[in-house]
Structure 1
Amino acid sequence: MTATSLTTDASRTFVVADLGGTTLRVGRVAAGAGSAEAVRRMPTEGIGRYPGLTARTLQDRVVDQLTRELVSYLGSSGGEGASAVGVSFAGPMTKDGTVLAGPTLWGSATPPLPITNMLTRRLGVPVVVANDITAAAWRYASAETDPFCLITISSGIGHKVFRNGEVLISDAGHGGEIGHWRVDPAADALPCECGGRGHLGAMASGRGVLLAARRAAAGDPRSFGLSALADTAGGDPARITNEDVARAVRADDPFATGVLRACMVPLAQAVNCVFTAIGVRRYLFIGGFAVAVGHRFVTLLGDELTRLGCFGLGDEEIRAMLSLGAEDDDHCLIGMARMLDRTLPALVNIGGGA
């Protein structure tokens, strides 16, 4: 696939969904469009809402919710006449659209899920399913002239490298899951929702930062009491929210900023590793938490990355590598439509995206 070969047939319209660990979004995107229309947002019926349910029960619940919402949308004025359905999924997938894991959706391991075939049978229209960050990368593929790494900081952490017209990932779904890189080898390291410990996503995702803020507040009540977080949370560490943390960091609150700085250390190490391994010099950050913090997120990450150093680069060159993506939550919807526009004409037996 090449970014330059994307078609722009605006007469075609796609129904697209972004199935994330926190939110399910469904909308309509015309081929070649730069925005999504008639978007519906709702909480995902997964582990974030029902942490006590088994992984298999949550998997069934999430897939049923996705099917129900797509059926409803296809039957409404927003989805009538759609050429195809595209779904971005928060987890690793094979090239043929089989889900390998859904840590932020249903937690621990379950058998592989042939979600593309399931949805095709249930919906009766062509369906393409791709990893969420793979889909989001297609939003930026036509605008970015150099290889780039797209990293999402939301319920979890994921990344994809787009180079020479394709996302670098194996057909079996390996790669692009830096959130599950183990950065803390300690036996008692923080648990990840996938069942492992010490993973980057457990420490530097939105959920990881929130946990760190609550633990820091409980462990240092004096500093917490002087923070804006104490006001918004009513003095109760358990009532701190991600929105509270993001707002406090934007206001340069020392306590909240200190918490985020500590969480940035392993993220900076991850960026350093990608740069050192393959030389990519463009890193775009999306995801609810990164966007909520805004440009302070990139500034603080730049502080840690320059402290670590990137072999062969000066401080200004290092900071210039880091940017925020578009300040909305439609990356996967728009990217999925662009991916559909490119892949759908070539599909005979409808399969999933890489």
Structure 2
Amino acid sequence: MTTAPPPTQDPRARVVADLGGTTLRLGRVTGGVLDPGSVRRVPTEGIGRHPGLSPRLLQEKVVTQLADELDAYLRSPHGVGADAVGVSFAGPMTKDGTVLAGPTLWGSAAAPLPVGALLERRLPLPVFVANDITAAAWRYAATEPEPYCLVTISSGIGHKVFRHGEILVDDAGHGGEIGHWRVDASEDAVPCECGGRGHLGAIASGRGVLLATRRAATADPEGFAASALAGPAGRRPGGITNEAIAAALRAEDPFATAVLNDCLLPLAQAVNCVFTAIGVRRYLFIGGFARAVGPRFVRLLGDHLTRLGCFGLSEQETRDMLALGADDDDHSLIGVARMVDHALPLPAGAGR
């Protein structure tokens, strides 16, 4: 278990990075507050941009990019006065900062990657590395008094359960990867970037919904032509984007809604399973795709969940379990800075 103490009032500045499957974000956090003007975003040099490269070469690209961007940031005005670096990483990892897998970054199986040690050798400051959803926990730990499950819906799907001040993962990195729960056992199930098939993240993530929408548009050209997706896509299924899907969903487009509903059923089943197994009654959804769709994402998911039924709960109690997180993409940046604050002792004369 990883204990998540409450955030501190440490006044020191931290340079932080959040490496996701789509975007690498860097910023400066002081006293637990992210300076919005300090945030830099660049596309991640992973499988999404280089689908033909081997996992090993993608690992090299990703780590080199991360180290180069952090080094340049530390040399910029935003790096002045910072005395530590915090990095949140999209993938399961051990307590010592070794990444065990990176499906949304380099795809299928590759050798464990000691990201923490590699960055320590490249950068002039102490480096703290954490799983991205573990880091996001530290943002919400002070504002969520009851046990809760944080779920990210972005390039992939990940989750962490927080109960009585502890993150329910072990030191070897097991736990918190519900996106790799197999929900479709058929031989021709949708492939996951990890190399498996039929995983929740391959179906209900932003990338999964995009693939499902393009397939539906190809299979039903008349329905696609009548939808709000056709114009922005140039009437080509291959021209559909996640941004257009989210806009169509916010406008309650029937075609896009039908596709998302198919994708959300296994996610609702996953929430039902967690609730039934351990009784957590609070589910916060973050991540680029869930945020782009907005409140309708939670409403449609709640429709599925109430049809499934949560044992012992009324329909309203079931819907009340679901909520969106903060309306930004800064969860892991803020959270990993608080992790660093807690790990480093304050200088003499400073107070928490």
Question: What's the TM-score bracket when you normalise by the shorter of the two chains?
Answer: over 0.9
Q: How many Å apart are 1:7 and its aligned residue?
A: 2.0
Contact 2:291 2:324 in 1 (8 A): yes
Q: How does 1:98-177 map to 2 (within 5 A)?
A: 98-177=98-177
Which ranges of structure 2 fall in alignment gaps of 5 or more residues?
Answer: 347-352
**Is the partner of 1:231 in helix, strand or coil?**
coil
Say which SS state the counterpart of residue 39 (structure 2) adopts: strand
Q: Distance in 2 between matches of 1:297 and 1:176?
A: 21
Shift of 1:35: 5.6
Tell me how far 1:37 sits from its aligned partner: 4.5
Separation (CA, whole Å) in 1 of partners of 2:342 and 2:116: 18
CA contact (8 A) 2:149 2:162 kept: yes
Q: Against the structure 1 CA distance between its residues 77 and 34, is the aligned structure 2 distance closer, same or farther, given a 3 Å change threshold?
A: closer
1:260 & 1:320 partners in 2: Cα distance?
21
Q: Deviations over 1:34-71 (max 9, x none)?
A: 66540000000000001001111111000000000000
Q: Indicate the SS of the match to 2:311.
A: coil
Q: Deviations over 1:224-281 (max 9, x none)?
A: 1110001111110000000000000000000001110110000000100111111000
Residue 223 and residue 88 in structure 1: after superposition, are their counterparts in 2 closer, same or farther (change >3 A)? same
Name the SS for the 2:78 alignment partner. Answer: coil
Q: Which residue of 2 aligns with 1:8?
A: 9
Aligned pairs, number:
344
Contact 1:13 1:29 in 2 (8 A): yes
> What TM-score comes out, normalization by structure 2 length?
0.96
SS of the residue aligned with 2:88?
strand
Equivalent residue letter for 1:252: E
SS of residue paired to 2:191: coil
Following the alignment from structure 2 to structure 1, what is the Cα–Cα distance between the partners of residues 283 and 155? Answer: 19
SS at match of 1:78: helix
Contact 1:35 1:334 in 2 (8 A): no
**Separation in 1, partners of 2:226, 2:53:** 38
For the residue of structure 1 that corresponds to 2:25, the secondary structure is strand
Q: Are 2:322 and 1:342 equivalent residues in the alignment?
A: no
Matched with 1:232 is 232
Letter in structure 2 aligned against 1:331: H
Contact 1:2 1:164 in 2 (8 A): no
CA separation of 1:144/1:35 partners in 2, compared to 1, >3 Å: closer, same or farther?
farther
User: Amino acid of the residue matched to residue 93 of structure 1?
Assistant: M
Identical columns (%): 71
User: How many angstroms does 1:2 deviate by?
Assistant: 4.5
Letter in structure 1 aligned against 2:103:
P
Q: In 2 relative to 1, CA 37–332 (structure 1 residues): closer, same or farther, beyond 3 Å?
A: farther
For residues 48 and 344 of structure 2, what CA distance do their matches in structure 1 show?
Answer: 33
1:250 alignment partner in structure 2? 250
Residue 162 of structure 1, CA deviation: 1.2
Residues 102-125 of structure 1, C-alpha deviation per residue, up to 9 Å, x if partnerless? 000000111111110111111021
C-alpha distance in 2 between matches for 1:32 and 1:165 = 19
Partner of 1:55: 55
**Where does residue 74 of structure 1 map in the other structure?**
74
Q: Please tell me the residue identity of whatever aligns with 2:275.
A: F
Q: In the TM superposition, what whole-angstrom CA distance separates every residue of 1:286-314 from its partner, at most 9, and x where no partner exists?
A: 00000000000000000001011111111
Which amino acid in structure 2 is aligned with residue 277 of structure 1?
A
Deviation at 1:341, TM superposition (A): 1.1
CA contact (8 A) 1:29 1:36 kept: no
Which secondary structure state, in structure 2, belongs to the residue aligned with residue 258 of structure 1?
A: helix
Q: Once the two structures are superposed, what CA deviation does each residue of 1:77-116 show, in whole Å capped at 9, x if it has no partner? A: 1012212100000000001110000000000111111110
2-side partners of 1:188 and 1:259: how far apart?
A: 19
Kindly indicate whether the alpha-carbon contact (under 8 Å) linking 1:36 and 1:334 is maintained by their aligned counterparts in 2: no
